Amino acid sequence: MTEFELIERFFKRRSRTAVLGNGDDCALVAPAPGNVFAITTDTLVAGRHFLPSITPGRLGRRAVHVNLSDLAAMGAAPRYALLSLTLPEIDESWVAAFAAGLWAALDEFEVELVGGNTTRGPMAIALTALGDVPPGQVLTRTGACPGDELWVSGPVGDAGWALTALLQDGDGAGELVITASPAQIDKYECPTARVALGLALRGVASSCIDISDGLLSEAQHLASASGVDIDIDIVAIPTGITDVDRSDVGQAAPVVNTVATGNERNRILRARLAQHCLLATGDTYELLFTAPSSRHDDVVRLLAAQDLAGACIGRVTTSANRPAVRVLDAQSRLMNIESKGWDHFA
C-alpha cells in the first residue's frame, strides 16, 4: 500500500461544511459568521505520550480528545482537524483500527478531517484542531480576579496513578508496587475532552485552562497570566485514588523515617505518590477554571447537568509580589510541595 492509497482508504471523506476539504494542497475553511477560529495542535510520540500497550483504536480516540481539550478550555466549538501521521511502516490492520478510533471521536463532535500528512519514521501522531467561538466569549487564562473560586471539572490524579502502575508492570522494580483499576487505566488511555462544559462556561468562568501537565503547573499558568495568587485546598481535590487514606494525603509531605518498616513505610510511600499524582502528574484533561463566588450555584448546576464530579478546590487572592500557587493541608496550613508538573525538557 502506498502513502496516497493509505490516505484515500482510511483518512478521506467528503467534506460537509469546508469550502474545500481533504484532497488538495490546502483545505479552505471559515468560522461561523461572527466567530473567530481557535487553533491548537498536539503531538503524541510513541514512548513519550503513550505506551506500546495501548490499542490503536484507543490511540486514535486519544489523539482527538487531547486536542479538543484545548478547544474546550477556550470555550470553542470544534469544527475541523488536520492529521499528520508518522509510521515506521504501513500495517493495514493497525491503521484500520487507529482510523476507526479517530473517526469515532471526530464524529462524536461533528469534526471534519480536512487534511494532513503521512510519512515514514518513528511513530508519532500530530493533530491540529480548529474550533470557533464568538470573540467576546472566549475563555482565556487572564481573567482570574481576587475573590474568585477555583474549580476543577472532575477527578484528577487517576491517570498519573495508572501510568505509574503500567510502567511497573512486569518488572517489579522499586520499593512501592501499586495496581490501577480498569477505570483508572481508562482515564489515562481514553481521556475525555470537556467540550460541552467549555461551551457552558462562556460568560460564567473568569479564566480557564485544561489540565494536561499537572494541577499545580496549570494553576500557576492561571496565576501568572492573571497576576494573582491561588490557594488550593488539597483535601477538596476530587480523585479516584481510593486505596490511600485521604488524611495521609492531606498532611504535609510525609517523610519516610529510616526506622519506619513494613506497613507504616508502605503507607507513607503511597501517600507521597498520591500527593504527586494529585498535584503534579498530567494527562488528566479536566478543566481547571475560576469563577466569581456569586456564580457558585451556577457552576454546581452546570457540573450536575453534565454528570461531572467536579468541585471547588480553592480560591483566588491578591498577589503581593510574583503570582504564586499555594497548597494548603486539611488544617489550612501551607504545605511544602516540591513537584510542579510535567515539562518535556526538564
At 205, give phi and psi (nearest 5°): -75, 145
The CATH number of whichever domain residue 203 belongs to comes to 3.90.650.10
Q: Is residue 142 part of a domain?
A: no
Neighbours of 177 (CB within 10 A): 12
Both 166 and 112 in one domain: the answer is no
Choose one of 97, 115, 137: the last residue of a domain: 137
Choose one of 137, 168, 196: the last residue of a domain: 137
SS3 annotation, 176-188 = CCCCCCHHHHHHH
Per-residue pLDDT tens over the stretch 144-194 = 999 999 999 999 999 999 999 988 855 545 677 888 999 999 999 999 999
Both 131 and 186 in one domain: the answer is no
Q: Is residue 337 part of a domain?
A: no
Q: Is residue 45 part of a domain?
A: yes
The CATH number of whichever domain residue 29 belongs to comes to 3.30.1330.10
Which of 208-212, 223-227, 268-272 bottoms out in mean pLDDT, i.e. has the lowest? 268-272
Q: Is residue 263 part of a domain?
A: yes
Both 158 and 234 in one domain: the answer is yes
Both 307 and 163 in one domain: the answer is yes
User: What residues pair up with 28 in beta bridges, in sequence order?
Assistant: 20
| 43 DSSP assignment | E
Q: Is residue 60 part of a domain?
A: yes
Residues spanned by the domain of 14: 3-137
Sign, CA torsion 179/184/185/188: negative
Choose one of 106, 137, 168: the last residue of a domain: 137
pTM of structure: 0.90
At 160, give phi and psi (nearest 5°): -65, -40
Q: Is residue 279 part of a domain?
A: yes
Both 302 and 158 in one domain: the answer is yes
Which residues are within 8 A (CB) of 297 and not within 5 positions of it... i.e. 6 or more apart? none
Which cell numbers hold the place of 221? 499558568
Both 186 and 268 in one domain: the answer is yes
Q: Are strands 77-87 and 112-120 parallel, antiparallel or unpaired?
A: parallel
Q: Is residue 143 part of a domain?
A: no
Sign, CA torsion 268/273/276/278: negative
For range 206-215, the mean pLDDT: 96
Q: What's the gap between Cα 168 and its chain centre? A: 23
Both 113 and 179 in one domain: the answer is no
Which cell numbers hold the place of 310? 467536579
Which cell numbers hold the place of 104? 469515532
Residue with C-alpha cell 491503521?
A: 95
Q: Is residue 226 part of a domain?
A: yes
The pLDDT of residue 267? 82
Number of domains in the chain: 2
Per-residue pLDDT tens over the stretch 65-94 = 999 999 999 999 999 999 999 999 989 999
Per-residue pLDDT tens over the stretch 124-155 = 999 999 999 999 999 999 999 999 999 999 99
